[in-house]
Amino acid sequence: MPIAPLDYTPADPDSYKMTIGEHLEELRRRLIFAIIGFAVAMGVSLYFGKDMLSIFCKPMIDVLLENEVNPMLFISNISDGFMVYIQVSMISAAVMASPWIVWQFWLFVASGLYPQERKTITRYIPLSLGLLIGGLMFVYYLVLPWTLQFLMAFSISIPMPGVASTLAQPSTQSAVVPLQVPKFAGDPVNAPDLSMWFDTSQQRLKIMLAGKVRVVQFLADNLVSPQLQLPEYVDMVMGMLVVFALSFQLPIVIMALARIGILDVETLRGTRKMVYFVMAILASIITPGDVITATVALMVPLCLLFEFGIILAARVPKRTLLDEPL
């Protein structure tokens, strides 16, 4: 008598229902997996934490070098450097582990959704991730350097009062040859002790003391000399990254609201002026930095994303979540 083959079918979330206790157990399991993924990413981030901190500070260093200002960021407390290192490492770990964490969250949520809901959500996940990454890249490569350059150029352009008239007076002293410091694109090889040179690659005045290269701090000869604090700069960068990353999700939000019937496409088109005005107010409130950043760097992308959201909403007819997706 032949043996009947085993009838094995993969587990289907629609073929069974979970009790509250089973849901809680599944949630606990997914949270454990997410924490393990974050812990692994945290270990990697701590190992490369100093390099990540350098990446965060690169836009500011480039602006300082471009304006011929000593590229140094300062701390006011002895623990600030270490705390910023931990902060940057945690943010980097969260970014690296975010796909794994979102995947664990999705596995928990998907078991309680209808097939149409799962299909609709998964269709727009790549677009959401693309907008998120686009927002981060937009800040790092465009908004942040442009904003820092504008603010730095304005600050160091304020002249010192009385300096020009003093320098214009004829000198009554005998001619004295000023000390000339040699220039190098980097550090000279086998520099002797107590030697001094100017590093053109870093715009720094350096001196060799006891076999170690020391940096001599110098500031601009203007009324305002920048002494930038590392914690405040990193907080500003973090704030801008979070604000722009979330703001770039606007098309997805508009499309979702239009799909479930809360917003109407014609209403959105007819209230453009009011929406733009509200966006200008919100941009000036939530954006760290100056008025230029709020009105141009955030408002203009928000307006473009709003129009993109209208286009997406017009392509998706108003449905309930139980309807079949397009």
Q: Are the CB atoms for 226 and 73 separated by under 8 Å?
A: no
Concatenated DSSP letters of 262-324: SS-HHHHHHTHHHHHHHHHHHHHHH--S-HHIIIIIIHHHHHHHHHHHHHHHHHS----TTSP
Shared domain check, 51 and 98: yes
In the predicted structure, residue 185 carries a pLDDT above the cut 70: yes
In the predicted structure, residue 1 carries a pLDDT above the cut 50: no
Shared domain check, 147 and 272: yes
In this structure, the strands spanning 183-184 and 196-199 are parallel
Shared domain check, 56 and 40: yes
Residue 208: strand pairing partners? 213
Instruction: Determine the Cα–Cα distance for residues 287 and 154; give it in Å rounded to an integer.
Output: 20
Give the model confidence (pLDDT) of 28-45 as tens digits.
999 999 999 999 999 999
- Domain holding 197, by residue range, is 180-223
Shared domain check, 144 and 108: no
CATH number at residue 199: 3.40.1620
Instruction: Determine the Cα–Cα distance for residues 153 and 222; give it in Å rounded to an integer.
Output: 11
pTM score:
0.72
Shared domain check, 135 and 83: no
Give the model confidence (pLDDT) of 76-118 as tens digits.
899 999 999 999 999 999 989 988 998 888 888 877 777 777 7
Using CA atoms, how far residue 85 sits from 47, 61, 80, 96, in Å, is: 11, 17, 8, 16
Q: What is the pLDDT of residue 187?
A: 87
Instruction: Determine the Cα–Cα distance for residues 104 and 202; give it in Å rounded to an integer.
Output: 45
In the predicted structure, residue 10 carries a pLDDT above the cut 50: no
Q: What is the pLDDT of residue 170?
A: 53
User: Which element (helix H / strand E) includes 194?
Assistant: none
Q: Are the CB atoms for 284 and 295 separated by under 8 Å?
A: yes
Residue 14 CB burial class (10 angstroms; 0-12, 13-18, ≥19) = exposed
175-179, 216-220, 264-268 — most confident range: 264-268
Residue 167 domain-assigned?
no
Shared domain check, 313 and 191: no
Lookup: tokens for 72: 């140094």
Say whether 82 sits in a helix, a strand or coil.
Answer: helix
Query: Rounded to the nearest 5 degrees, what angle is found at the Cα of 113, between the Cα atoms of 109 and 119?
Result: 100
Shared domain check, 217 and 281: no
Among the ranges given (49-53, 170-174, 284-288, 303-307), the one the predictor scored with the smallest mean pLDDT: 170-174
Is the torsion defined by CA of 88, 234, 127, 112 positive or negative? positive
Domains held by the chain: number: 3
Mean pLDDT of 8-18: 51
Lookup: tokens for 41: 């990413």
Instruction: Determine the Cα–Cα distance for residues 103 and 83; give it in Å rounded to an integer.
Output: 30
Residue 10 domain-assigned?
no
Shared domain check, 243 and 264: yes
Residue 291 domain-assigned?
yes
Residue 48 domain-assigned?
yes
Say whether 246 sits in a helix, a strand or coil.
Answer: helix
Residue 67 domain-assigned?
yes
Shared domain check, 268 and 204: no
Residue 93 domain-assigned?
yes
Shared domain check, 252 and 202: no
